[in-house]
Structure 1
């Protein structure tokens, strides 16, 4: 899961960089190739995120340390849900 986590992170950041480069390229041919690459990595990212969510639903999350406060204990599940929702919405929105 750690490898999957970091793989998703690297691809996610790479997608932002690729997006910036592809819109600033003046060559139409290069721009087209970068757009195709961007779409391919987007579909890969979506598949990996779905795999990660499936893994998360099938396995129990580790317990939070006792030093974590009540507010953090209540908001952590909401924050994780929001992150998963954004990770699904972003590749689908293009």
Structure 2
């Protein structure tokens, strides 16, 4: 398998980034959903948010790399069977996922740094608190974070359903391309 994207397949770098982001998004959502119910006396009360923040910061870095990679190694050409509406839906869906993910991560950063403390990332490095003066910063960012996280999860589910529809109903190579196997027949 090639590292870079080709005209028919995604390369290994794009595939790994796609699936790492997917895993991180689902994992962060599940962890976030679980941790908001923790009580002060839970042994995970401080550990779960630290993990959530650390993985979120790493995901932000991965998403920045992913955007750069999209310019360095453009994706495969659209399939001939995909009409204008499918191409528009694809671009719109991917755009909403990217914007939604960045907005979720930025709102998470604003929650975590509202009191002026930076974010420690697995004790490897510290991300400084740069914005702390927004009135009710933690509360507003918290609501935005929650609603956008649900939105990203729903869009991700629709994205997965669309890929399955292309694979099982349309019987085209859309899903196989994300595994680097567009040349294989169904």
Could you state the TM-score of these two structures normalised by the residue count of structure 2? 0.47
Residue 29 of structure 1 deviates from its aligned partner by 5.0
- Asked if residue 48 in structure 1 is aligned to residue 62 in structure 2, the reply is yes
Verify: 1:80 aligned to 2:94, yes or no: yes
Larger RCO: 1 or 2 (CA < 8 Å, sep 6+):
1
**Counterpart in the other structure of 2:26:** 13
Q: What TM-score comes out, normalization by structure 1 length?
A: 0.88
C-alpha offsets along residues 25-68 of structure 1, whole Å, 9 cap, x if unaligned?
Answer: 12255212111111101101111111111100222221111111
Runs of 4+ in 1 over 3 A off after TM superposition: none
Alignment correspondent of 2:83: 69
1:91: which partner in 2?
105
CA distance in 2 between partners of 1:10 and 1:33 (Å): 20
More helix by percentage: 1
Distance 1:37 1:74 in 2: 37
Residues in 1 aligned to 2:16 and 2:38: alpha-carbon distance in whole angstroms: 32
Summarize the Cα distance change of 1:75–1:20 in structure 2 as closer, same or farther, 3 Å threshold. closer
SS of 1:72's partner is helix
Unmatched 5+ stretches in structure 1: none
CA distance, structure 2, for counterparts of residue 73 and residue 7 of structure 1: 24
| Larger of the two Rg values belongs to structure | 2
Taking the aligned partners of 1:23 and 1:14, their CA distance within structure 2 comes to 14
